[in-house]
Structure formats: C-alpha cells, structure tokens
A and B are shown apart, each in its own frame.
Chain A
Amino acid sequence: MSRLAGTLAAGDARWGFLIRFLVVAAAMLLLAPAVLSDFRLSLLAKFLCFAIVAVGIGLAWGQGGMLVLGQGLFFGLGGYSMGMYMKLEEAGPGQLPDFMVWSGVESLPAVWEPFRHAWFALPMAVLLPMAVAAVLGTLVFRQRVRGAYFAILSQGLAAAFVIVLVGQQGLTGGTNGLTNFTQLFGLDLTAQANASILYTMVALGLLAVFLIARQLVASRYGRVLVAVRDSEDRVRFLGYDPTRIKVVAYTAAAGMAGLAGAMFVPIVGIISPALLGILPSIEMVIWVALGGRAVLAWAAGGAVLVNWVKTGLSERFPSGWLYLFGMVFVVVIAFAPKGMAGIGEYVRAGLGRPGAVRLGPRARDRATARDRAAQEPA
C-alpha cells in the first residue's frame, strides 16, 4: 500500500517537473519574443547566457561543494574562441582582424589560424574550457585542495587569464578585447530584427544545458557528488575516487560557461577582459547564491532575476543603483541563506501546506515510519 503511494508520488513529481519545464520553455520561446521589444529581448538573451553559467555553478558548487570563483576564465575561453572566429570571418580569407592591423601585427599568429574554420572554433568554445578544467581539476583535487583554498586558486586563475589577455595586445586585442562584430554566418548582427534568432538559440541552449545538468544531478553520479560534498574522505573509503567525481562536475560547469561565453559574443558584440576578471567571476557566484545554489532552476533563475533587477535599478537610479543592489544582496543573505529558493520553501511552509501537494503521501509515510521507529528502537 505504502509502496503504491510512493510510486504514485514519484510519478507525480516526474509529471510535475515535465509540466513546469514545458511552461517555462513555452514562456521563454513563445511568450518572451511576443511581448518584449527587440532591445529587451536582446537583454534577456544576455541574461540567459548568464543563466547557462549559473547552471554550471549550481552543479559544481551547489551539488559538488566546489566554490568556483573563477568561472570567468571558462566564460572567456568560450567567448574568445567565438570572437576569434567572428573576427576572421569578417576580415575575409587571408586578411588580418582590424585590431591586429592597428597594433602593427603583420601576419596572423599561429594560434589564430585554426579559428578561421567554424568546425574548429565552435566546438573549441566548449571543448577548450572543458580540457583546461579537466587538467586543472585533476591536478588540484588530487592534491586535496578544497574549500577556501580552492576558491582562491580558481579566482587567481581568472585573474591571471585577464593579465595575459591585457598584456598580449596584438594577439588578443588587449583591454579592448574583441569587438566591432557585424555578422555571424551571414546574419546581420546590427539589425535589431535578428535579435530574436539569437535569442531563440540561447534559450534552446539554456534548456538543453539545464536538462543535462538535471540528469547529472538526478543520476547515481549526482548522489555520489552530494556525498563528496558532505564528506569527501568517507566517499574515498566507499571505493570512489573523489578526484574523478569532482573533476566531472567541474569540467561540465566549465563547458557550460564556455558555451555561454560563445553565445554572449554575437549578442552583446564584445568579449573583453573586463567581462571575465575577478569581479565578474564573483558576480556569477552571487547570482547563484541569491537564486539558491542547491536548486538548479533557481540558480538559473537567480542569474536572470538579479541581472533584470540590476538593469532596472541602474536605469531608474543611475547614481545610486549600486548601493540599492548591494542592499538587496545583504537582505537576501541575511534573511534567506538558501536564496530565493529558500523563500519559496518558507512561504509554502508558512501557508500551512509544506510541499503538501507534491509530497503528501510520501511525507505521511515518513511520519509513520518515524513513529514506528520511535516505538521500537532499532
């Protein structure tokens, strides 16, 4: 009897997810393009890129406990891969990108050469960050570097990356980064009407990334990942190599950040060191902290909402918005340590139906099991 109820509850949860997913997908793909202006839609596309990064952070930090304070590195690797391709596509065969000409570079550097080809540049935007993360992660996690040490290390890497980018003016465009893009695959990026095409691509990308991350979290691997977060040493004595478990999540998060970076470039029209240094990297983690790091959907939602609020505040209060933004952050951290996801839980509990609709039968089962256990101690 109780098993039947349990199965039904599990079935309900699965249907519940499918319905929620489809509603959000429909809102993103159909509603948003219909009601938002091209300008707003383009803004939303940018926020959805950030949401892709946030899903990765939700996976690595929320589930795996790795405080990734340097995702700007991977976002940048993806963005620069895309930017290099677009620069070369615009320059035309055999030509140099404009900034190289200004910097007095005479022939195309060897690293740039393969990025002429879309078949190389586009996969690289994802594979390069993943490869870097896999190597770094293996070295770092094997040495059992974790907690604040790992956070500082990951942040240092983002900072070092920025220094390299700024220093190599002729190779990377220096502080200005790569900009002045006009087209991608023959698509005129200056035409506002094309905003919806790019937007749809990003929305589909986010939905796909979310499903991948969710599958990882729901799988047995996801359980082991949470176990590693709880007690890495204990997992080792169950016969798992925690290094490998962590590297997979870290690498997946890096790939997601790389994809986001690659999609960001044609939408916003620039990739530069200022977008991926220490501050932007910390901001990425803040989105996830505010949304709720333990729940992937809230991590993604946090990225969109925080940026939406930030834009709204900066438009209305051009001089004081940063203070308001800081205040929002302090309030959420002080009163909702689980982020907005936690507020949702709290409200549901306060209304006297603690997740009642979804978990009803199973929660009752648990209560009975607890009572039985209390009566006859194991």
Chain B
Amino acid sequence: MTDAPLLEIRGLEVIFDGFHAVDGLDLTVREGEVRFLIGPNGAGKTTLVDAITGLVRPAGGSIRFAGEELVGQREHRIVGLGVGRTFQTPTVFEQLSVLENVDVAASFRLPFRSLLRRRRGVTDRVRRALEDVGLAELQEEPAGVLSHGQRQWLEVAMVLCQRPRLLLLDEPVAGMTGEERLRTGELTTRIAAEGTTVVVIEHDMDFVRRFATRVTVMHEGALLAEGTVAEVQQDAMVRDVYLGRPRDARGAAVVA
C-alpha cells in the first residue's frame, strides 16, 4: 500500500491577476509519507495547499486524490473524501469551548438527524485528540482565551479527530518554542505511523531535517528539486535559489 500514489498533481496552474502563483507543477505523494514542502517566500506552497483543498480554483491541470479528481469539487466535499488541513493563522471558534471545537470537527460525518441530538459526554476520539495536543485540561475554556500556540494545537486536534487520509499542515510550528516543535514533530511522525499521509509546509530546517522522509523544494510556482533532506541540500539549483536571496534568513538556513 505504501507505494500507491495517494496524491497526484499534474500540470497545475494557479493564476492571480496574471501572476502565475503555481506554474505547471507536478507532484506525487505516496501513501504513508511525511512530505515536507519548502521554498522561498512566494514560491506558491500555500497556494498549492489552497488549490488541493478547493480554496482557490486552478486555471489548469489536475489534482487526483486516491483516484478522484479534486479540481472543481467544493471544499467540504474534499474534506469528506479525506483531505484535512490547518491554516497558517489558526482559526478556532472563539465562542465555543475547546471541547466543543473538537467535537464539532469530529462530528462532521454524522447524518444530519444525529446532529440534532445533544452531545452526551465526550467520545474517545475527541478525548484522545485533546490529550494528544495537551489541551485536555483546558477543554471547558472558551477557545477565545487560548494563546496563539494553543490555538495551533487546537487546530491540530480538530483535524486529527477527523482521521483524514491526507493531512496538510501549513507552517505548524511557526511561533512555537523548541520543546513544542519537538512535540509537534513527534506527533506528526506518530500520525504518519498510524496510516495518515502528511504534507507539511515548513521553513524551520532543523525541524525538516529531523522529521522529513522526503522534501520537495518549490520555487516560483514550480518544482525545483525533490529527494531526501541530504539530497536536496546537495542540489546546486537549490543552493542557488536560496543563496540568491541572502536577505531571506529562513531560506539561508537550508544550506547552513
């Protein structure tokens, strides 16, 4: 099973007002991988995730997930097929409690009639997701009081309890402390071991080196290089791209 391509992107084009944010990208992600997506700012990484999840409409190309075409499908249907994502800026429902946030996420496959019933207690799936991210103690708090880091955790818990086949994480460790990063990485590895394919957009190269199985480097909307962390770091073109932008401190870390 691990060899089957879960996500196959061919010739993807996303154009904003004449600007080619994604320009003829090909990408294949196999089941069970933890794939890291890196590249300078503006390389089109987030746009790619937006296109996969239906937030932006591609101008051309195809995105096949488990054999199904995603281009043109509505966002909630794509989620229904098993594609989950988090956002760079975490959005949680501030008026709901932490527990309710996760419970709403976990209930998305319930038939409508079951939704009309009250929640009784906490399901194992929800409890486990809350424990995984360390928010179990805060479950009764309104999500509005959470700090930025805690919101990121909550978002991860929400997407985890949905058990997606493909999980897209957009800069999950931005703004986190070293210890939190480590914990996120371990959680990511464990999710992958349990059968979820994970695609992570990340700038932090220590984090990438430590937890990536394969890395895809994007540049100006297209694929620049792909391979293991070591292979990518040796790649001359990758070095050029990052060294050509000396002011991009995070990019410079690639060759460090």
Q: Which residues of A pack against B, CB within 8 Å?
A: 6, 215-216, 218-221, 223-224, 226-227, 229-231, 233-242, 244, 362, 365-366, 369-370, 372-373, 377-378
How distant is the Cα of A279 from the Cα of B184 in the complex, in angstroms?
55
Which among A238, A240, A369, A378 is the interface contact of B158 at CB below 8 angstroms?
Answer: A238
How distant is the Cα of A224 from the Cα of B93 in the complex, in angstroms?
10
Taken residue by residue from 131 to 164, chain B's Cβ proximity to chain A (1 for < 8 Å, 0 otherwise) reads as 0011101101100010001100100001000100
Question: Is B93 in contact with A378, judged by CB distance below 8 angstroms?
Answer: no
Question: Is A362 in contact with B150, judged by CB distance below 8 angstroms?
Answer: no
B contact residues around A216 at 8 Å (CB): 116
The interface size of chain B toward A, counting residues with CB under 8 Å, comes to 46
With both chains docked as a complex, state the minimum distance between the C-beta of A46 and any C-beta of chain B, in angstroms: 31
Q: Which residues of B pack against A, CB within 8 Å?
A: 53, 55, 74-76, 79-80, 85, 87, 91-96, 100-101, 103-105, 107-110, 112, 114-119, 133-135, 137-138, 140-141, 145, 149-150, 153, 158, 162, 177, 180
Question: Is B94 in contact with A378, judged by CB distance below 8 angstroms?
Answer: no
Closest 10 CB pairs of A and B: A239-B79, A239-B108, A221-B115, A227-B93, A236-B75, A234-B91, A378-B134, A230-B93, A369-B137, A220-B115
Nearest residue, chain A, Cβ from B101 = A227
Question: Is A219 in contact with B80, judged by CB distance below 8 angstroms?
Answer: no
How distant is the Cα of A238 from the Cα of B192 in the complex, in angstroms?
20
Which among A219, A234, A237, A365 is the interface contact of B93 at CB below 8 angstroms?
Answer: A234
How distant is the Cα of A239 from the Cα of B119 in the complex, in angstroms?
19
How distant is the Cα of A237 from the Cα of B91 in the complex, in angstroms?
11
Question: Is B100 in contact with A236, judged by CB distance below 8 angstroms?
Answer: no
How distant is the Cα of A230 from the Cα of B91 in the complex, in angstroms?
10
Question: Is B141 in contact with A370, judged by CB distance below 8 angstroms?
Answer: yes
How distant is the Cα of A220 from the Cα of B158 in the complex, in angstroms?
15
Q: Which of B140, B153, B162: most chain A CB closer than 10 A?
A: B140
Question: Is B115 in contact with A231, judged by CB distance below 8 angstroms?
Answer: no
With both chains docked as a complex, state the minimum distance between the C-beta of A357 and any C-beta of chain B, in angstroms: 18
B contact residues around A230 at 8 Å (CB): 93-96
Nearest residue, chain B, Cβ from A242 = B76
Question: Is B93 in contact with A220, judged by CB distance below 8 angstroms?
Answer: no
Q: Which of B104, B112, B134, B150: most chain A CB closer than 10 A?
A: B104
Known: A224-B115, A226-B95. 9 other contacts (CB 8 A): A215-B116, A219-B117, A230-B96, A234-B91, A237-B79, A237-B85, A369-B141, A372-B137, A378-B150
Nearest residue, chain B, Cβ from A229 = B95
Question: Is A226 in contact with B96, judged by CB distance below 8 angstroms?
Answer: yes
